[in-house]
Structure 1
Amino acid sequence: MGHLMRGWRLGLALAALAAPAAAESWRPIFNGRDLSGWVPKVNHHPLGENWRDTFRVADGVLKVSYDKYDVFKDEFAHLIYRTPLANYRLRLEYRFIGPQTPGAPAWAVRNSGVMLHGQAPETMALDQSFPISVEAQFLGGGPGETRPTGAVCTPGVTIVVDGVRRTEHCLSSRAKTYPEGEWVRFEAEVRGGRVIRHIVNGETVMTYTDVRFAPAEYAGLHAAGPSQAVPLERGYVSLQGEGHPVEFRNIEVLALPEPPGR
């Protein structure tokens, strides 16, 4: 009888190994038709005003477009997803297209990003260029350029990389350079502010930990935040427009379990 029970248990174990893994429950947060669920905030303009139709949707693609601008005048823009998130994976595809907008700064050529753990949109000032957040920066390369995408920038926060707290505004990633017009797959794995990973075309290119508010930087952003360097563990996702046309598609989120004790 013992050998029969052992055989039965072994059979169950083998069956469990052979069973397909449960499908991940990715959820689209961009419907491919309009900007439902998102709100624009353009520098110098009130929340909800989509200045000069900067954000628009066509053929299932969310476009950041400047064809209605005569000249770019510091109108840094963010399209903010209205639901705050804490523990999740975010994935999307992006590409840069077309020329830089007249008046946009030179550093913003083929430069965009997705802001993670951003402040609530209602708390942004009228003349606030960027939300307090941590940015996964997207860069595109011109001929002969080396511009690794998936870098990290820190408007209003600091992070720890390899055990060292970093105060530089941007830190380069280990990613490749991708040219204008090429769709690039990006994923962020966000576990509160404890650990965040940037993944480009399936390769982890940046990892950082312990995201904290940086009160000394708020004045430069015309923003208000906590008076202490407390952890930043949740917030709003936004897509960025800095003066160069960029497109996004297939924007999805996968909820991750809360850590024990939360």
Structure 2
Amino acid sequence: MIRPSVLLLLLFLSSACMKAQEWKPLFNGKDLNDWYVKIHRHPVGDNFGNTFRAEDGMIKVRYDQYGDFNEQYGHLYYKQPFSSYHLKLEYRFTGEWEKTAPSYTILNSGVMYHSQDPRTMPAEQDWPISVEMQFLAGLGDGQPRPTGNMCSPGTHIVYKGKLDTRHCINSSSKTYGKDEWVKAELIVYGDSLITHVINGDTVLQYSKPQIGGPVVNNFDPKQKPDGKVLSSGFIALQSEGQPIDFRNIMIKEL
């Protein structure tokens, strides 16, 4: 016979397990109240040029109020950090690329994870110390341009069993076009295995994200202890010169 105290513990653990496995929307479809904005050259909380907008049940990234882009790369952070989780969302590139942005930003965006807290970033810090699941679309030139790649501002990862210090590693995904909705999934197990999934296909895996390397500028040195393994951090949607829409942003903690 199971004692009442043991039964209550089992019920609690079962309830906690079920709760941890539930999908939760990160975006409520109406506003950005659960998110922090951080745009290069501006303090956290300043949504310069109304860059990030909640419209039509989507998060939209736009630059029609910018003038000169002036390297004002932006990131929209969900309000709390996560460690082990399954993130899924849909994105599509749309509109006209901001012509004063660097050319590499054409049909280019992404989602950052294990990011530093945006409130630790000086106004002049250009990129968060983080790992990125990069999104790209084909340029219409017939050349392959995979999406769901890995980029690493201020970080490194272990790829195929070795520390890999390249800034970006391409995935094995197909090339998708502008104005095409793409389903992206990011499966993160703390500081262990990371998996990128595009339209249901596993396209990249690596492990042990850690602080190190260049790309990030004008950061607070206390925030960049090179060699520190990253097991948790913030999730952020990116703006870097190309209009993009995000929808159906969901997370399930693992």
Counterparts of 1:82-231 in structure 2, within 5 Å, are 82-143=79-140, 144-214=142-212, 216-217=213-214, 220=217, 222-224=219-221, 225-231=223-229
Cα displacement (A) at 1:56: 0.3
Partner residue in 2 for 1:81? 78
Identity of aligned residues (%): 43
- 1:252 is aligned, of 247, 250, 253, to 250
Partner residue in 1 for 2:61? 64
Partner residue in 2 for 1:241? 239
In structure 2, distance between residues paired with 1:133 and 1:229: 13
Q: Which runs of 5+ in 1 are unaligned?
A: 1-21, 257-262
In structure 2, distance between residues paired with 1:183 and 1:192: 28
The 3-state SS of whatever aligns with 1:206 is strand
Does the 8 Å contact 1:140/1:177 carry over to 2? yes
Q: TM-score w.r.t. structure 1 length?
A: 0.86
Does the 8 Å contact 2:38/2:47 carry over to 1? yes
After superposition, the C-alpha distances for 1:85-138 in whole angstroms (9 at most, x for unaligned) are 001010000000011102111000000000010001110111111100000000
In structure 1, distance between residues paired with 2:67 and 2:95: 15
CA 1:94 to 1:218, structure 2 compared with 1: closer, same or farther past 3 Å? Answer: closer
Does the 8 Å contact 2:154/2:215 carry over to 1? yes
Q: Which runs of 5+ in 2 are unaligned?
A: 1-17
Does the 8 Å contact 2:125/2:216 carry over to 1? no
CA 1:219 to 1:134, structure 2 compared with 1: closer, same or farther past 3 Å? Answer: closer
AA in 1 matched with 2:104: W
Partner residue in 2 for 1:33? 30
The 3-state SS of whatever aligns with 2:38 is strand
The 3-state SS of whatever aligns with 1:207 is strand
Cα displacement (A) at 1:226: 4.2
Cα displacement (A) at 1:38: 0.2
RMSD: 1.5
Counterparts of 1:17-32 in structure 2, within 5 Å, are 24-32=21-29
Cα displacement (A) at 1:227: 2.9
Structure of greater Rg:
1
AA in 2 matched with 1:173: S
Counterparts of 1:44-55 in structure 2, within 5 Å, are 44-55=41-52
Cα displacement (A) at 1:218: 7.4
Does the 8 Å contact 1:26/1:252 carry over to 2? yes
In structure 2, distance between residues paired with 1:68 and 1:120: 27
In structure 1, distance between residues paired with 2:89 and 2:226: 33
Number of residue pairs matched by the alignment: 234
The 3-state SS of whatever aligns with 2:214 is helix
After superposition, the C-alpha distances for 1:197-247 in whole angstroms (9 at most, x for unaligned) are 000001110101111111x53763534324340211000000000000000
CA 1:130 to 1:219, structure 2 compared with 1: closer, same or farther past 3 Å? Answer: closer
